[in-house]
Amino acid sequence: MAPPPLLRLDGVRLTFGGTPLLSGVELNVLPGDRIALVGRNGSGKSTLLKIAAGRVEPDGGEVFRKPAATVRYLAQEPDFGDAPSVEAYVAAGLGPADDPYRVTFCIEALGLRADARPQDLSGGEARRAALARVLAPEPDILLLDEPTNHLDLPTIEWLEGEVAGLRSAVVVISHDRRFLEKTTTATVWLDRGAVRRLDEGFGSFERWRDKVLEEEERDLQKLSAKIEREEHWLRYGVTARRTRNQRRLEALHTMRQERRDARRATGNVVMQAGETRESGKLVVEAEAVTKAYGERVLVKDFSTRILRGDRIGFVGPNGAGKTTLLKMLIGETEPDQGRVRRGTNLDLAFLDQKRAALRDGASVADNLTDGRGDQVMVNGELRHVVGYLKDFLFSPEQIRTPVGMLSGGERARLLLAKTLATPANFLVLDEPTNDLDMETLDLLEELVANYPGTVLLVSHDRDFLDRTVTSTIAPAGEGRWIEYAGGYSDMLIQRRTAASQEKAKREESPKAAPGAAGTKAAAAPTKLSFKQKFALDNLPKEIARLEKAIAKTETEMADPALFAKNPKRFDELAKALEKDRAALAKAEDEWLELEMLQAELGG
């Protein structure tokens, strides 16, 4: 027998501006649930989460929360109020029975300063502080709205482990496919005001969604054929106007309404990058460029050649120097040493993750045209702003809306519309996936993958990188950057392969003879110590063992009924998973440091 739900939404309805947003929505959250809430931008996902959290009252329906169950909600825009410090802000989220140590743990794990003023935090720091506040209490129900926005990859991977280890039931909205695949065991799809549930994680969602849509299309075709037959009867049947046939006529009107309703889904985003002349074959060539700020070296002796048609991804933790390296390559920042040469006929379009190109006080239309009338030039063709913005899911009523009133997803789509209307052959995208729904992400992926020019892409979205880039540039410590062929997953494979090859090479090489060489080695640190070499040889085995253990634990915890059947076993697995993930992160960091040291000594 299934346990009673912690949270239940039954027949929830909500209407905005005369248009139904939610129509009889049902949602059950059981203990141990890990639910991905998916749907297009504007479908009502965030609103549904706010109703679940008690932040918005529905027009109708029932919202039940188990008495005494604790609920924590992560909003897209955190409200710090008058909290004097990060520590005070996080601690304010604790309940009477919560462990105060979790405040310190979460703050340190997320790389925050406890005494910092929340109002002075950057976008990424603000997101981490808000995460610390909802994670520290370990609530019964955890509602997360875009938790990975503005986070770097190490923090996202830490968050994956933390969510997997919590006892809380979790409902999460995220555009990060990889994050959803690793953290969810059920999927709720909000589409045209109603929900469907799949009792499998997000990894199975897209295949299931496509099957549902195909079945809908077949049903719609059958309905259209039936309507056609009935219309033929209506036009040519001699008894069509008799009273005894009015019921048949009413049925025809009902079927027409059903077809209209079936086609009333949100429109599709239409994306096409502005075309311009072809650039020269060489786009950017960097030779031994170095950039430092004070004693901190962000880029050291980096060289690369970027050719027309290349799609380069930049990854790494926040503060590693991705933006600095990118700006040197496109000419916004000069290197301290080295040389950057750019090719001919370059027309650059730049999408900034800070949305600096948008003016909050100006309307949607004025932001698109810079206040120059109501038309925009796209691929050499003048288009009215209303028609062009419809391609990006903006309604005519929104055209005069100030940008400051738009949601995060709407601002992201407007910035994409503005960037893609710019004629360019060199596209620079800094975190373009933030706040986009998955359908829009799919189209952006297709656009980037088929873009005829050159693309430089900074992103923490591992799945997006895997689907779009031809090579990946990642930091290797102390200002060094290495370029790998392929996407993010390819980069990880190449790093592991390089480590294995280096290990095999060391094992095959003959032992150094004693004597002069030994004396010289002792006189100068030209090789790893015995302890370091032992660690370097054995860490790959330990990493493989931990990965296998983590995978086994995650498989067992993926059972949605485990928590209800055996909560003690669930707790044991959660603690073991947290311990193994921490050990894996430590082992990988140690291995990377030793590899870097080995390379330096060998060089």
What's domain 7-207's architecture? 3-Layer(aba) Sandwich (3.40)
In angstroms and rounded to an integer, the radius of gyration of the C-alpha atoms of the chain is: 28
Residue 523 confidence (pLDDT) above 70: no
Q: Give the per-residue pLDDT at 23.
A: 86
Range 195-219 average pLDDT: 85
510-602 maps to CATH 3.30.420? no
Residue 190 confidence (pLDDT) above 80: yes
Which carries the bigger pLDDT value, residue 291 or residue 43?
Answer: 291
pLDDT tens by residue, 137-148? 989 999 999 999
pLDDT tens by residue, 239-287? 444 444 555 556 555 655 555 554 444 555 555 665 566 778 889 999 9
Q: Check if 7-207 and 282-489 are the same fold.
A: yes
Residue 576 confidence (pLDDT) above 60: yes
Q: Which residues are annotated as a binding site?
A: 39-46, 316-323
Q: Which residues are annotated as a binding site for ATP?
A: 39-46, 316-323
Residue 355 confidence (pLDDT) above 90: no
Domain locations along the chain: 7-207, 282-489, 510-602
pLDDT tier at 223, thresholds 50, 70, 90: low
Residue 21 confidence (pLDDT) above 50: yes
Q: Give the per-residue pLDDT at 443.
A: 74
Q: Give the per-residue pLDDT at 281.
A: 86
Outline where 295-437 has alpha helix (H): 322-330, 364-369, 385-390, 408-420
Query: Strand, helix or coil at 319?
Result: coil
- Give the tokens for residue 355: 């949305």
Largest CA distance in the chain: 115
Say how many Å lie between the first and final Cα of the chain, rounded: 65
282-489 maps to CATH 3.40.50.300? yes
Q: Give the per-residue pLDDT at 516.
A: 43
Do 283 and 426 meet the contact criterion of CB atoms below 8 Å apart? yes
- DSSP per-residue letters across 258-298: HHHHHT-SPPPP---PPP-PPPPSEEEEEEEEEEEETTEEE
% residues pLDDT > 90 (the chain): 25
pLDDT tier at 172, thresholds 50, 70, 90: very high
Whole-prediction pTM: 0.65
Strand order in the sheet with 19-29: 19-29, 7-16, 60-65
Work out the burial of residue 382: count CB atoms within 10 Å of its CB; fewer than 13 is exposed, 13-18 middle, 19 or more buried.
exposed
How would you write 287-305 as a 3-class SS string? EEEEEEECCEEEEEEEEEE
Q: Give the per-residue pLDDT at 522.
A: 37
- Pick the range with the lowest mean pLDDT from 45-49, 310-314, 456-460, 558-562: 558-562
Residue type, 597: L
Q: From CA 122, how far away is CA 106, in angstroms rounded?
A: 18
Range 582-593 average pLDDT: 76
